[in-house]
Structures are given as C-alpha cells and as structure tokens.
Chain A
C-alpha cells in the first residue's frame, strides 16, 4: 500500500476515534411526563422507567421525570390529604416511595411543577416525599419545553 494512503487512513482514524468515543459517551436524554393520578398508570410508568434503565448500559441514560397536574400525587405523602383543603389522590405509599428511592439511586430525577402544587395547596417540605428545592420547577410545561430544546426525547407513558 502506498505510504500516502496509509497516512491518510491513520489520519482519518485519528479523527474518527475520538468522535466515536464521544458519541458513545453521550448519555441518552429522556423526559417522562406524568400528569395522571391513576395509581395503576403511575405504577406502569415507574416500571417503564426501570425497564428503560435496564435496556441501556449503566450511566448511558439521563432520565428526567416531570410531574405536573394530578401527576404530582405520585410524591404526595398519604397523610398530606388530611392537611390539604382540596381533594385528590396521594399515592406516595411505602411501595411507591421504595420504587422512587430505587430509581433516584440510579440517577433518575423527579421534577415537580410548582404551579400545580400551588393550585392544590401542596407544600414541598410538609406534603411531598423527599423533594428538595432544586427539584421544583416554576412551571412543568415550560420545563418540558426547555428540556426538549436541550435534546430530551419526550415520553408519555
């Protein structure tokens, strides 16, 4: 083989390899939207997330869940119902919180819509299961738009 073409190949390879490595390191970005308070639907959504994580290599998935509307009931503690003036479901029982903890342990972030909380008289520390300030978004819909603009694929279980 001619030495020039060999050098060209090496150069090409040198250019390609880091690109491939970078592409391989880039985590898949996914956004799950949850706005239902149906416990069955919520269980199914959590199961989908775990299956999704299982389907890709570790650290290859950047999974964000946005809870808005009635979906915030996923993290609403059960004794919060008696404290709130509005009615609705509170689904953060032992089974759900264990699943949420498990997903969080695998890097899943649960973001909660503040507008939906206000409409339901929900207070973060008092009513929600382990949600810190950084996991609150002013408006869930706006957050989902911004996430999509940053390359997150939208999934609604």
Chain B
C-alpha cells in the first residue's frame, strides 16, 4: 500500500475514497487481514458512536444506515474483484460443462447439469455449532465444493460466518482446524472466514479473557446482520 494506511482506513470507513482508491484499498484488505480487521473495528466503533449519540435531527434514517454499514460497499467491491479475477481465470481455461453435479428436477431425481442463472454461486455458511467434528465435516464439504467448481471453471464464493458457539472454530486456543483453515485460505481466494465481533466482545466480557482469532479470519461487527445481508443479496444459506 503506497499511502498511509491509517489515513486510508479512515477515509474508507467515512466513504471518502474515489472508486479507484476504494478498489485499491479493498485489494489491500484482501491481502492483509490485519488491515481488514482494523477497518472492520473502526466501522464498528463508528457505528457504536453513532448509536451512542442517537440520530441527530435532520439526518434521515437511510443516510445513517448507509453510513453505519459499509458492508454493502465491501461486498460489492469484493464481488467485483472476484468476478474480475474469476472471469479472467475462466476465460483463460476452456469451460468444461461437467455433469458431475446432481441436479434435482421437480421430482428430485433429475440428473441434468447445473445451469445457474447467476454466473456465480455464492454460499454463506452460518456456523453456530461448537462441535469441532461437525466443523471438520463442514470443512470437508466446503473443500469438496471449492475443488469441484475449480475443476469445472465455475465461479464460486463461500463465506463461513462463525457466530455464537460457532466462534470456537476461529479461536486460536479452541480450534482443532487452524492449520487446515490456513491451508484452505491460501489455496482458495474465494473462501472467506468471518468472525463475529459481538460474540468476541461478549466472551471477553463474560469470561474475562482475551479472545484470539486466527489470522486468516476477517471480523464483522455482527455475525447475524452479516448473514442476513448476504441472504438479501441472494446468497444461498446453510446453517450448521
């Protein structure tokens, strides 16, 4: 990053960057988990401040909501980036319309290949189960999917949002899959792990401990809010 990071974070959170600068910043965030964590925390702080001082008269609710939540911009930027990257990659390789995927017709027994209307399959996994064996099986499924889509040159994006008891998967002290998460994150740029800040805060306050999140994970203010937003954006939703 050429510019001063802290200035950029503030400008980004305040929505003062030009589209080009924002794109550059998003790219930098993608490569630098620490930066994205700081941006997320700053956003969280900002929204808390806004909540504390309530809505000043004269400010429309819509404007406040927009300011409070840069996730839309982040999502749009990320989707743009991913689409661009994947698009280039897809164009580079000959698309191979495999019939591997079982597609279900109205009777649930169709075998036709996927003809998705959306060019990209997007899945948000909402993880609230603390069981590490269950989380391991989830990672198996996700890895299977990532590899299958990669083989077929089909664009895919997967987000695993750890929330409530599900946060254990992303806690350095409790996760049994930290090494695997590191490897998967490295191998698949289209896989994102997201930790819920509200949960982290709650655990820290109630247990009087410091919660350490594995470095590959991004942090969002509210896990539920993030998941709800993804569903509104048309992502497929799986709760584990």
Report which A residues bind B (CB closer than 8 A).
33, 35, 62, 64, 68-70, 109, 111, 115-116, 119, 134-135, 137-150, 154, 156
Partner of A138, one of B102, B123, B142: B102
Verify B108–A146 contact, CB threshold 8 A: no
28 contacts between A and B (CB under 8 A): A33-B238, A64-B104, A68-B141, A69-B134, A69-B240, A111-B104, A111-B108, A115-B140, A115-B141, A115-B144, A116-B137, A134-B108, A135-B108, A138-B101, A139-B145, A140-B141, A141-B123, A141-B142, A142-B102, A142-B148, A143-B102, A143-B104, A145-B121, A146-B101, A146-B114, A148-B236, A148-B237, A149-B116
Assess whether B2 is interfacial by the CB under 8 Å rule.
no
- B residues near A68, Cβ cutoff 8 Å: 141
> In the complex, how many residues of chain B place their beta carbon closer than 8 angstroms to a beta carbon of chain A?
29
Verify B238–A149 contact, CB threshold 8 A: no
- B residues near A69, Cβ cutoff 8 Å: 134, 137, 240
Once bound together, how far apart are the Cα atoms of A139 and B145, in whole Å? 9
Number of A-B contacts (CB under 8 A): 76
Verify B104–A147 contact, CB threshold 8 A: yes
Partner of A141, one of B106, B114, B116, B238: B238
Once bound together, how far apart are the Cα atoms of A69 and B240, in whole Å? 10
Verify B121–A149 contact, CB threshold 8 A: yes
Interface of A is mostly: helix
- A residues near B28, Cβ cutoff 8 Å: none
- B residues near A111, Cβ cutoff 8 Å: 104, 108
Report which B residues bind A (CB closer than 8 A).
100-104, 106-109, 114, 116-118, 121, 123, 134, 137-138, 140-142, 144-145, 148, 236-240
Given contacts A115-B144, A139-B141, A139-B145, contact A146 B238 (CB under 8 A): no
Question: Shortest CB–CB separation between residue B47 and chain A, in angstroms?
Answer: 28
Once bound together, how far apart are the Cα atoms of A148 and B237, in whole Å? 8
Once bound together, how far apart are the Cα atoms of A109 and B109, in whole Å? 10
Question: Shortest CB–CB separation between residue A45 and chain B, in angstroms?
Answer: 13
Once bound together, how far apart are the Cα atoms of A55 and B216, in whole Å? 45
Once bound together, how far apart are the Cα atoms of A64 and B116, in whole Å? 20
- A residues near B239, Cβ cutoff 8 Å: 33, 154, 156
Question: Shortest CB–CB separation between residue B133 and chain A, in angstroms?
Answer: 9
Verify B236–A145 contact, CB threshold 8 A: yes
A62 nearest in chain B by CB position: B106
Query: Which among B104, B118, B138 has the greatest number of chain A C-beta atoms within 10 A?
Result: B104
- A residues near B138, Cβ cutoff 8 Å: 141
Verify B104–A146 contact, CB threshold 8 A: yes
Question: Shortest CB–CB separation between residue B240 and chain A, in angstroms?
Answer: 7
Question: Shortest CB–CB separation between residue B66 and chain A, in angstroms?
Answer: 28
- B residues near A115, Cβ cutoff 8 Å: 140-141, 144
